[in-house]
């Protein structure tokens, strides 16, 4: 019992104080990320609004004849590094847990140039601005090529 009590005291001492949990943040308006709103009076996770989906036709095909309860995962967002993540819609069919970089620090290795990335394909759509691509290594019967609508080169049949 003494070991259990000591372990609990250690956990309590190491735990972040409640005041350190960041819960009050919103996505920047220009980010394209919108906070998800549960149906009124419910915690049921439904699909994102159609106007926020990048490919609503694909989402409709994905949902198909599934019952409403099977459209999206019934998730709740965790706390990470003392920050409460929130359900957001940012182009996908279903909400995802997210927090902005200024709320949860993210090391994106922006200062490190490893030489492993290449520029996006010249025919890439404008939405690909800022992407990092890798040079594809293609197997037999395939060669590097561009697929309309993609950001990066990929392997296509010869």
pLDDT along the chain (158 residues), means of 10: 38 42 69 84 89 92 90 87 84 90 70 78 90 89 93 93
Q: What is the pLDDT of residue 111?
A: 63
Domain ranges in the chain? 19-98, 117-157
Tell the residue number behind the tokens 């404008």, with chain if given: 126
Q: What pTM does this model have?
A: 0.52
Within 10 A of 32 (CB to CB), how many other CB atoms are there?
14
Within 10 A of 56 (CB to CB), how many other CB atoms are there?
15
Q: What is the pLDDT of residue 84?
A: 78
Within 10 A of 157 (CB to CB), how many other CB atoms are there?
8
Q: 48: exposed, middle or buried (C-beta count within 10 Å: 0-12, 13-18, 19+)?
A: buried
Q: Could you tell me if 131 and 151 are in contact, meaning their C-beta atoms sit under 8 angstroms apart?
A: yes
Q: What is the pLDDT of residue 6?
A: 37
């Amino acid at each position: 019992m003494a070991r259990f009590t000591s372990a609990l005291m250690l956990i309590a001492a190491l735990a972040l104080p409640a005041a350190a949990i960041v819960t009050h943040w919103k996505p920047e308006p220009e980010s394209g990320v919108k906070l998800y709103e549960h149906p009124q009076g419910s915690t049921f996770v439904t699909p994102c609004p159609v106007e926020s989906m990048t490919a609503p036709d694909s989402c409709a095909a994905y949902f198909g004849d599934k019952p409403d309860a099977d459209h999206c995962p019934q998730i709740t967002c965790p706390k990470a590094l003392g920050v409460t993540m929130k359900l957001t819609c940012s182009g996908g069919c279903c909400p995802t847990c997210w927090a902005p970089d200024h709320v949860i620090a993210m090391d994106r290795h922006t200062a490190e140039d490893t030489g492993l990335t290449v520029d996006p394909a010249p025919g890439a759509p404008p939405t690909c601005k800022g992407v990092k691509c890798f040079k594809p290594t293609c197997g037999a019967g395939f060669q590097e090529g561009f697929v309309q609508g993609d950001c990066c080169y990929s392997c296509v049949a010869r």
